[in-house]
Structure 1
Amino acid sequence: MFSASVRQFTECVCLPAAFEVVVSLLNRSDLPRDTGFKFCLKIRELDETVLTLHQEPVFSTHYDSRDDAIRFVCPRRGATFDPTLPPSPSKRQIVLTHEATLNREIMKFTMKQQFKSPGIFVFESAWLEIDGQTRKISEIDHRKPFFVIVQKRPSRIMIEERDLLAGVDEKVMLTIEPATDVESSSLKMTSSDASLIFHDSSSNLVPELTVSVPALQKDSNYSFHVSLFLPLSAEFIRETVSVKRKICVQWEEKPYYVEVSFIPLFTMQRRITALESKSLIVFELGRPPIVSSTVCFDSAHLEAKVPDPEKPSALAKMLNPDISDLEPASISTIVWVLPVDGPAVRHKMKLKYRVKKKIDGLLIDEDKEYYKYEEERDLNVCKVSYEMCAQILSQQPGAQLCRAGAPCDFVVSVRSLSHTVEMLYVVLDADEKLWILTERAKVLSLKESGLGQIVFSIVPCIAGFLPYPSISIYSCIGTGENEDYLPGSPLISYHRTEGKQIRVLAPNADSNAFQEKSGSIRGKFKKLTKIFD
């Protein structure tokens, strides 16, 4: 008696790979050892007969409201697979064989088969041939359906996987792996994004690229470089984020799609600030640390469209005309004075730059080509109406510096550039770990000269160089009750001492004790005064 079990087999085979199956044969016969045998396993191509025999039964129910009855029918009975049925003569049959000797009770071996064409094959039968006699396998066990799908390995087109730089010409490797022998042909490359363009053999920018492919043999490959250019755009220049673009490669009357990723050559952050009565716009340019080239700027222009359409655009004045080169992992800034104030002013910026590679410490300009970046954007340019400055003074008599834990005077001076008499709402804000703000908001009255000054009491918490608390000013809204005021809309101002720091000394134990004692005496004196009043 013999029985066999199949535990491992290749379910899907891509030509020209081979099919493998692992069989365990259990020998329960009384045959002597060292007896030669041949194990045979037959599989056949799947046909319509087998598909019909493997169909499961289908049941259907129907409720008839007139008869108030439920009817249960079986439209298809289904069938079970019978391996004794003769196969279709048009379908292929393949017999896998393995020859060995009966040297032990359980034998495990691997059988291989090379297919020539695709198809779907299922198990049919298995037997042993011993001394010219055929012995059936009483039982063959396979835990999952025994079938194999044979398919042709498709041709592949692959592209080099790396992040390319947007804003500069890039070269990437494209590789073709044909599944069969092909004659000399050509392929056409197009992009789903119209902004992604190619360089042809004459270095011209074209939306489509045609490449000649020589005759190739099966299992060989052919690689070539493709020059791409994706211009910088405002959508992904703000940060170093990878963007994907798809390229369609039409070859052998079949489309293939590859995906390339881009990161910006440099990033750009913008902010609007104030300098006295002028509005400035600051462009901060940064380079990612993963690149090895240097960006050299040739020119930069910023112009604003004036409200009068008959007048030409106003050109912004650049405060730093000599823009420093952008090295990897470095930052450079461009500062302009905005020529036009107002809401939603249309601005157009133009950058002209070159990209140089550093070889042996020297900058080498390989392509000698200038690139351009242009951007149009509406900016809300508000006119600066107020100027502020602040100063911190110690409240201790004769002390020049502040100490941690000791109260200080924070003097805020405001000047109106329009010289108007008005009430302003001044608000302080600071890190609670650095400053204790005993007074956060006060109302300031500006005089006819447009000047006003107000004093806040603040207490430094730690020693060291501490930044000044931030200052914001708002318009005043009167409530009409007890002359109370509420903050209105924020006002645009220029802070001269913004970012300034002050040195704070460590607390003194004696001075702290004196301050606590004098403070308690001063408090008791105030209470007695209130009682007598």
Structure 2
Amino acid sequence: MSKRGVVIFRSFNWHRHSELFNSKLAELVGKHDRDAAFRCLKQNAENHFNGNGKSTEFIVQYADQLVEEYEDLLTDDEFTLSCYLTLLLSNKDQSSSKYKEKFVSLLERMALRSQHMYRSSLDWKWPLVLPIHIRSIAEHLLLSVLNSPIQLELDLVSDFSTSLSQCQVKAVFRPMSVDVLQPLEPTFYSSTITDNICRFACVSKGGETASSSSHVDDYLVLTSQTDCHLVGNGAVSRVQLEGKAIVPGCFALDHLEVTTAKALTFHLHYQKEMVRGGSRLENVLCLVDIKKPWVVMEPTGASTQFLAGVVQKMCFRVHTGTMAMDSPSPLKFCLVGLKPLMEFMTEDGRWEKELNVQVVPLDADQSQLVEVFMCLAIDRMNFSADQSSLLHHEVQVDWVGRSWHFPLTFLPIVSLRSMTSLLGDRVLFELDIQRCDTNRALKLVPIQAKLLQDQSLAKEPVEARLMNPVPFEPLLGNSSYRIVWTLPNSKIGKTIPIVHYLQLDYKLEIDEDCCNQDYQDEQQLPLEHITQRQYCFENKLSFAVHKVEYEVCAQVLCAQSVLCRLDVQCDLIVSLRSLTNKAQSIIVVLEVENPHYWLAVDRFKVVNVKESGVGQTSFSIIPKKVGFLPYPSLFIHQHLDSSSNDRRSFSEQTMFGERLTSFHRNQGKQIHVLGPLLNSDDTSSSGSGPVKKSFKLQAKDRIQKLFE
């Protein structure tokens, strides 16, 4: 009959009448049967504790009646704890002070027996408000990588009249989804379309209640490492939570679990706490990323540049990131480009174009240092040791399916420059070697130098004759050395390029006087590997070998004095001797490179060379500066119009031929030019003009006899 009456009341949603009927029924039963009354009250209280009750007043009434009248029959600790908790949360001072000690003592007994009861606040239908809530959170966006620690600071407020000790706090993050960010309670929306029509809709029916985090693998859980002490009476307690990111992804804070005395756990749903806390709380997100393995290059020594043409050491550090290497993994090094100019030293001391190193097994977030010894060959001629001669290359590193490119800058240890010169009827090939570095501890010692001339496809190349004494002198830092060869005679025309092969073998030695331990530590030079290897520079050159056809000798004479004076016209006597002894007409060209030194009155002269191979002409020049001036440049060209047999000046009808190779005996010499004479000197020297002119004729005769 009692159950039927309760069902009838609830069918009409008369919940208060139903509760009143249960209360009166319990009083009536209690007058005749105490045990039956206890069971009736307990059943009604359990319905409220499970969320079926709608009124807080009856929950407090049932709990108070059970504790006051039937305390001796309360054998279920979890139910008894719910009654004490209900009375403490009823906001009645007399009840709080009366049952505070009983509530704490019961928690201690349950902790000793390892009993555990879960009272979840995630059920928004439960009318009682939990005494613990979130006040604020320090950070609302947490960034981390896999297998890395995560920290979170938050403030909790306890409304208990007593402080709670031995508390464990746990923050549970769920994978990002729409349900996690939805509030627990339904969200409604209404709008007025017209005066008589109003639209009403339910935007969200509410989120799902979350389960405990102890049985979910894809949750991110942060816990307090030590027991926390929550101060009561509305005081704020700072809690530090720590955890480890074991699952990558994006997570959102779902709820907090506060366990007190290892017996009672409060579930604080964060969406409900956001509604309760107002604008102070926002959604807390945590992003856990994966850190892939990577390779970095570490600096070695005091200089950021490497030296080409010598063994160098590179240091690479490999990082596993968030991945653990359970087995050895291959690490490969090679030079980017078509030319295999770089060689790497293997573990057994061999030099290969590629290097493979085995990286030992590593755990997550560990690294290993790998030292690589390499040598970049010098593959070209370098004119100077400035920044324009730097070599730029890239080294490719392959590891665990990924590739990295490291740009490297090399300074050649030597700067090489080649040139040809004429010495009489011989052609010389000169190789200038300049040390580009200033390393005083290393001596570069040339071992062998060869120059081969390829004169014919059917014959072997002819080796040029070396002019330097052997053994060669060593080159110290920032020093230079020149190697000279005499090129062999060739029947190939002077305008056709001839292929030459240059080979220079050298080694490096340590200067014991300069190489102390402090210097080695500063430079980080692999001296042991540098001195064990022999180096070689090879280059293919193609240039035309010009044969000397004329020998030129020039002399400057002045009409009024022995020495030239400023702004006084002088004669440049040019004597020619043909090395082929062939009679022909040629054009002598005078070029003034700097007009501040000389003023040329005549620039072109046609000279008829006799069968004896001797010819002579003169140019009028005026010095424009006092001091030691260089000789003007002289060039010889073929004369295409050879019908004329007399010596004459250049005219527009004269045509130039190709330039002839000549050897100048005055190369590198200078002419001394004096300042102008005073007026008295000009008067006294005017009468000696014929005498000075006779000196000029005598000088011309002596030069002419010399060539004849």
TM-score, normalised relative to structure 2:
0.53
Is 1:468 the counterpart of 2:634 in the alignment? Answer: no
Structure-to-structure mapping, 1:313-392, within 5 angstroms: 313-322=461-470, 323-341=472-490, 342=492, 343-361=496-514, 367-392=531-556
Is 1:233 the counterpart of 2:379 in the alignment? Answer: yes
> 2:317 is matched with which residue: 141, 158, 175?
175
> 2:640 is matched with which residue: 460, 465, 477?
477
> 1:271 is matched with which residue: 419, 426, 446?
419
Provide Cα deviations, 1:315-345, integer angstroms capped at 9, x if missing partner: 2112223443222222211111110433232
- Provide the secondary structure at the position in 1 that maps to 2:276: strand
Flag the structure with more relative contact order, 1 or 2, with Cα contacts below 8 A and sequence separation at least 6: 1
Which one has the largest radius of gyration? 2
CA deviation after TM superposition for structure 1 residue 13, in Å:
5.7
147-156 or 383-392, which moves further after superposition? 147-156
Asked whether the 8 Å contact 2:179–2:208 carries over to 1, the reply is no
- What residue in structure 1 maps to residue 72 of structure 2? none
Write the letter of the residue equivalent to 2:309: G
Provide Cα deviations, 1:113-143, integer angstroms capped at 9, x if missing partner: 985544357999x98969xx81332999xxx
Q: Check 1:121–1:428 CA distance in 2 against 1; reply closer, same or farther (3 A cut).
A: farther
RMSD: 4.9
Provide Cα deviations, 1:91-117, integer angstroms capped at 9, x if missing partner: 97999xxxxxxxxxxxxxxx9998554
111-120 or 437-446, which moves further after superposition? 111-120
TM-score, normalised relative to structure 1:
0.69
Write the letter of the residue equivalent to 1:119: G
CA deviation after TM superposition for structure 1 residue 297, in Å:
0.6
Structure-to-structure mapping, 1:95-494, within 5 angstroms: 116-119=246-249, 134-137=276-279, 150-161=288-299, 162-179=304-321, 180-183=323-326, 185-192=328-335, 193=337, 194-234=340-380, 240-250=389-399, 252-292=400-440, 293-307=442-456, 309=458, 311-322=459-470, 323-341=472-490, 342=492, 343-361=496-514, 367-395=531-559, 397-398=560-561, 400-419=562-581, 420-478=583-641, 484-494=653-663
Provide Cα deviations, 1:23-72, integer angstroms capped at 9, x if missing partner: xxxxxxxxxxxxxxxxxx9998666999xxxxxxxxxxxxxxxxxxxxxx
Provide Cα deviations, 1:465-510, integer angstroms capped at 9, x if missing partner: 2221222221223499978313322111111211212222334454
CA deviation after TM superposition for structure 1 residue 353, in Å:
0.8
Rounded to whole Å, the distance in 1 between the matches of 2:412 and 2:383 is 6
- What residue in structure 2 maps to residue 26 of structure 1? none
Rounded to whole Å, the distance in 2 between the matches of 1:149 and 1:458 is 87
Rounded to whole Å, the distance in 2 between the matches of 1:482 and 1:238 is 44
Asked whether the 8 Å contact 2:592–2:599 carries over to 1, the reply is no
CA deviation after TM superposition for structure 1 residue 367, in Å:
2.4
Rounded to whole Å, the distance in 1 between the matches of 2:683 and 2:251 is 99
Q: Check 1:514–1:434 CA distance in 2 against 1; reply closer, same or farther (3 A cut).
A: farther
Write the letter of the residue equivalent to 1:406: V
Asked whether the 8 Å contact 1:9–1:20 carries over to 2, the reply is no
CA deviation after TM superposition for structure 1 residue 354, in Å:
0.7
- Provide the secondary structure at the position in 2 that maps to 1:137: helix
170-179 or 234-243, which moves further after superposition? 234-243
CA deviation after TM superposition for structure 1 residue 312, in Å:
3.8
Rounded to whole Å, the distance in 2 between the matches of 1:426 and 1:87 is 105
- Provide the secondary structure at the position in 2 that maps to 1:485: coil
Rounded to whole Å, the distance in 2 between the matches of 1:285 and 1:510 is 55
Q: Check 1:391–1:482 CA distance in 2 against 1; reply closer, same or farther (3 A cut).
A: closer
- What residue in structure 2 maps to residue 77 of structure 1? none
- The sequence identity of aligned pairs, in percent, is 24
CA deviation after TM superposition for structure 1 residue 235, in Å:
6.8
Rounded to whole Å, the distance in 2 between the matches of 1:191 and 1:299 is 30
Rounded to whole Å, the distance in 1 between the matches of 2:251 and 2:298 is 37
More helix by share: 2
More strand by share: 1
Asked whether the 8 Å contact 1:304–1:340 carries over to 2, the reply is no
Rounded to whole Å, the distance in 1 between the matches of 2:679 and 2:242 is 94
Rounded to whole Å, the distance in 1 between the matches of 2:248 and 2:145 is 8
Rounded to whole Å, the distance in 1 between the matches of 2:151 and 2:658 is 79
Write the letter of the residue equivalent to 2:617: I
- Provide the secondary structure at the position in 2 that maps to 1:227: strand
Provide Cα deviations, 1:388-432, integer angstroms capped at 9, x if missing partner: 12222233x23x332333332222222111122323242323212
Asked whether the 8 Å contact 2:571–2:618 carries over to 1, the reply is yes
Q: Check 1:485–1:87 CA distance in 2 against 1; reply closer, same or farther (3 A cut).
A: farther
Q: Check 1:456–1:184 CA distance in 2 against 1; reply closer, same or farther (3 A cut).
A: same
CA deviation after TM superposition for structure 1 residue 369, in Å:
3.5
How many residues end up aligned between the 2 structures?
A: 449
Provide Cα deviations, 1:286-306, integer angstroms capped at 9, x if missing partner: 121354422111121112123
Rounded to whole Å, the distance in 1 between the matches of 2:218 and 2:681 is 103
Write the letter of the residue equivalent to 2:563: L
Asked whether the 8 Å contact 2:333–2:396 carries over to 1, the reply is yes
Provide Cα deviations, 1:341-392, integer angstroms capped at 9, x if missing partner: 3323222222121112334247998624322222233321122211112222
CA deviation after TM superposition for structure 1 residue 207, in Å:
3.1
- Provide the secondary structure at the position in 1 that maps to 2:553: strand
- Provide the secondary structure at the position in 2 that maps to 1:327: coil
- What residue in structure 2 maps to residue 58 of structure 1? none
For structure 2, the 5+ residue unaligned runs are: 1-135, 153-170, 181-202, 211-215, 223-240, 255-269, 517-526, 644-649, 688-708
- Provide the secondary structure at the position in 1 that maps to 2:584: coil
- What residue in structure 1 maps to residue 195 of structure 2? none
Asked whether the 8 Å contact 2:381–2:417 carries over to 1, the reply is no
Rounded to whole Å, the distance in 1 between the matches of 2:597 and 2:146 is 72
Asked whether the 8 Å contact 1:241–1:263 carries over to 2, the reply is yes
Asked whether the 8 Å contact 2:319–2:365 carries over to 1, the reply is yes
CA deviation after TM superposition for structure 1 residue 16, in Å:
6.8
Rounded to whole Å, the distance in 2 between the matches of 1:187 and 1:260 is 23
Rounded to whole Å, the distance in 1 between the matches of 2:633 and 2:383 is 31
Write the letter of the residue equivalent to 1:200: T
